[in-house]
Amino acid sequence: MPISRRILAVAAVCAVLPLSGCGSGDDGGSSDASGRIEGDITFQTWNLRANFKDYFDGLIADFEKKYPGTEVKWIDQPAEGYADKISADAAGGTLPDVVNVSPDLVAPLAKAGLALDLDKAAGQYKKEYLDGAWASHRIPGMTGTYAFPWYLNTGPLFYNKSLFEEAGLDPDQPPKTYDELFTDALELAKKSDGKVATLANVPTVEDFGRYGVPLMNPEGTAFAFNDAKGVELLTKYKELYDAKALDPQALTATPESSGKKFLTGAVAMNPGSALDLGNFKKQAPNLYKNIGITDQITSTGHVNMYVMGVMVNAQTKKKAASVAFAHYVTDAEHQMSFAKKVAIFPSTAGSLDDPYFTKEDGTDETRVRIAAAKSLKNAVNYTPVLFSEQMKTALRNEVAKALQGKESPEEALDNAVKACDTLLRQQG
């Protein structure tokens, strides 16, 4: 039956084609964002609808009013699996026109030609942002900048004053450097007979950065955190682990689980943000009464900052509208209004000098905000943009082997660097 076979073949092809993940086949590739700002675009955020629906509805309405003929469809994705959602969209050719990203998400998208080079398409806006923030979406080995910087964040370190006091430590003199941290942590563990750990997480790549370890070579082509300073940091952490100054479950901990340990008083220090104060007040009033707030531990004098960005899909058919909207979301006025709704910090030049970030009003929230804004002026984004999830796991596993004594710190870091370099080469 030739007809039925032909029809079946067509049906089969129709069924399979949508799954083949072809690109959208439009005018991608050009960085020209000139032209009339009009048309329908999609904008994807990262878990922001639940708390900021009104803010974004207003923002979008104002943009559409400013540029008649535009229509922005807002999509919000949950925090969990965000990278997987983007990768599925990118592979399937359904990446939204404007996407909320972090630098490590931008890197593979830029390499695949899916992120618009804003140095070319929107270079005129560069001067509106802090130099460091604009540079945060540059990719080693590539020229160009691939996302508008959006909000910055950095967190203070919270500590439990009563636990410090019980261990005979001065609750008003929390550790500031890694050396002070190690001394205090060992003292706390000794005085509590190993029942109170100071930290609940193994060192991450940011810890190595804050300790002063070079993370990559200057060209950005290989990792370098296995130098003597890196080994020194890991050796110190091993001492903490052996003395139970590092929680025994730190090897499998997540930020959520270590946060819970801090809430229950099992751990004396935990990184967080100004948002956490509200949680402490609600969930652990006794802890809240004893809460101490200090700067991130750093031996370099530069705290770690996290950068969020807004990327424009290089394949979008509405480049002018997409670039205009991405800039609109991240410009000084809108970043400032967003910062007043939530504990984030604008990446636009001069915004951190606003009285909102400099003037005390006596509350803890303001104190945290002012301290964070101050530290952001010389903060560093220690996470290398090419440091993928697989690399994080490789480092974490090798660190765990060193802490358990299965490998020496030197061996562990050599292996971690080797694994990360292999993954880096495989990224292409």
Partner 1 sequence: MSSSTVSRVRRQWPLSPWLFAAPGLLIIGAFILYPFVSTLVNAFTDKRTLIPGEFVGLANFRELLHDDMFWIGLRNSTLYVLGVVPALVLLPLLLALLVQKNIPGITFFRSAFYTPVVASIVVVGLIWVWLLDERGLINSLLETVGIGRIGFLSDQWLLLLSAMAVTVWKGLGYYMIIYLAALANVPRELHEAAAVDGAGAVRRFVTVTVPAVRSTMALVGALSSVAAFKVFSEVYLMAGPSGGPAGEDTTLVMLVQRTGTGLTGRVGYASAISIVVFVVTVALMLLVLRADRRAET
* Residues of the shown chain interacting with partner 1 in the complex, contacts defined by CB under 8 A: 1, 3-4, 7-8, 11-12, 15-16, 19, 83-84, 86-87, 90-91, 105, 108-109, 111-112, 114, 247-249, 251-254, 257, 261, 264, 266, 388-390, 393, 396-398, 400-401, 404, 406, 423, 426-428
From the list 135, 121, 36, the residue with the least C-alpha distance to 312 is 121
| Paired tokens of 106 | 């931008």
CB of 245 to partner 1, least distance (A): 15
- Using alpha carbons, select from 345, 313, 278, 302 the residue that is nearest to residue 215: 302
Q: Measured from the CB atom, is 152 or 197 closer to partner 1? A: 197
Q: Which is nearer to partner 1, 30 or 264 (CB)?
A: 264
Nearer to partner 1, 8 or 61 (CB): 8
Whichever of 51 and 249 has its CB closer to partner 1, that residue is 249
Of 246 and 329, CB closest to partner 1: 246
**Cβ–Cβ under 8 Å, residues 217 and 224:** yes
Residue 173 or residue 249: which is nearer to partner 1 going by CB?
249
Q: How far is the CB of 188 from partner 1 (least distance, A)?
A: 17
Cβ of residue 38: shortest distance to partner 1, in angstroms? 30
Rounded to a whole number of angstroms, the minimum distance from the CB of residue 20 to partner 1 is: 9
Shortest separation between residue 99's beta carbon and partner 1, angstroms: 12
* Least gap, CB of 67 to partner 1 (angstroms): 31
Q: By C-beta, is 86 or 122 nearer to partner 1?
A: 86
Q: How far is the CB of 263 from partner 1 (least distance, A)?
A: 11
Pick from 308, 297, 295: nearest CA to 374: 295
Looking at beta carbons only, is 144 or 265 nearer to partner 1?
265
Nearest approach in angstroms of CB 266 to partner 1 is 6
Under 8 Å between Cβ of 195 and 166: no
